[in-house]
Structure 1
């Protein structure tokens, strides 16, 4: 029997209207839709996608639970278990469409599963989606970069020792739980700072200075720190 293929599909940052036509088509054409969580209907990816594709309610929803822990052995074990869950479906000759927030190539859980699946001889495909930082820049109605400006994308800012002193603009992701420390770095940088919390989702909030950003900002908080003055 021909084995199925695993698709890692980005559903965008939160607004269902930002889902790609390809993401919608793959959900409609395949019966098994996987999600990174114990209960698919409770995942953010499901809540986004179901608004654009009502047929998702009638699909076979596959939970792939991978807890957010720091222990490397536990992380690798959860990835192996997750891949095994998907492989059972692929061995039946059916495809699996794994839905993920934003874009499937930016800090995406599926890519860890992808490496295991390919190592085990299965075919995979990544399907791009709109990234959170591009959506946030558009929501702020600003360009993310102009002319020859570089863009630095950094996760978990609280783990980095940096003063944001490189030329260009910075995108800071996954820093919500240590926002007070992040704000101190931002204040020292002298940059123009803006943040979107829950971009495209219920409870979206926009902040246009370091002083406005609350210390208790949520997990889906994305910061853009720009150099003062226009790019030349």
Structure 2
């Protein structure tokens, strides 16, 4: 009887391909199929393709997958791998998302039953606001082997780019999902990290006006078009999806 394959949730880091871990690189090379999330709502069913089938719509999916574009710069073998595209629309309807994730898990399990190992690539670290973990937990509950390969989180790299600590001594660190209501969280003491703040930037900016806290925005951290802003006034309300805010209590 053929042994089922293994599913890996792999963090490729925040943007700079040199920040990928050695374990992530090795695991991607060893896997048979690469799993990529697709936010484009045109894709409604999981789609498995060989590299020579990447034309038209599928080629666009590859180009728009940030995690793939990071990893392929370090792992040239990615260009030879089969790709499983999974629908992952950016919606908040939990019931619809559950059905989408369930369907994705079903298709992945069919491939695992063939003895194939699969690698789901995700930006940053899989354990921080990643859709990868929803799929991984479903697969694990169904009895398949899974492993999470950690990646450098965007907020750690952003702090490094700013040459500043996120936490010192008794200082607390709070990680907040910027795409949801973050007003109450911004009132917490210590360091507040708002991730993926793009669509709510206008609301967040209004909340921070007149604040006595130190505020830094890092957009597209580690990527070619990285941008750093150090004041509320300079923050654009149409900041991109990969916009991260670090808000710290000002030292006295």
**TM-score bucket (shorter structure):** over 0.9
Q: Which residue of 1 aligns with 2:62?
A: 41
2:53 is aligned to none
1:82-101 pair list within 5 angstroms: 82-101=104-123
What is the root-mean-square deviation in Å for CA atoms of aligned residues? 1.5
Provide runs of 4+ in structure 1 moved above 4 Å: none
Quick one: distance in 1 between partners of 2:203 and 2:3? 52
- Verify: 1:121 aligned to 2:143, yes or no: yes
Which of 149-158 and 88-97 deviates more? 149-158
Q: Decide whether the 8 Å contact of 2:126 with 2:148 is kept in 1.
A: yes
Matched residue count: 230
In structure 2, the residue matched to 1:31 is: 32
Residue 46 (structure 2) aligns with: none
1:130 to 135, 152, 155: 152
Matches within 5 A, 1:5-154: 5-37=6-38, 39=58, 40-42=61-63, 43-154=65-176
- TM-score, normalised with respect to structure 2: 0.87
Q: TM-score, normalised by structure 1?
A: 0.94
SS at match of 2:168: coil
* Deviation at residue 164 of structure 1 after TM alignment: 2.2
The 3 A distance-change label for structure 1 pair 20 and 229 is: same
Alpha-carbon distance in 1 for matches of 2:245, 2:182: 15
Asked if 1:169 is matched to 2:191, the reply is: yes
Q: In the alignment, is the contact (CA less than 8 A) between 1:157 and 1:182 conserved in 2?
A: no
Unaligned runs of 5+ in 2: 44-57
Residue 133 of structure 1 aligns to a residue whose secondary structure is: helix
Offset at residue 73 of structure 1 (A): 2.1
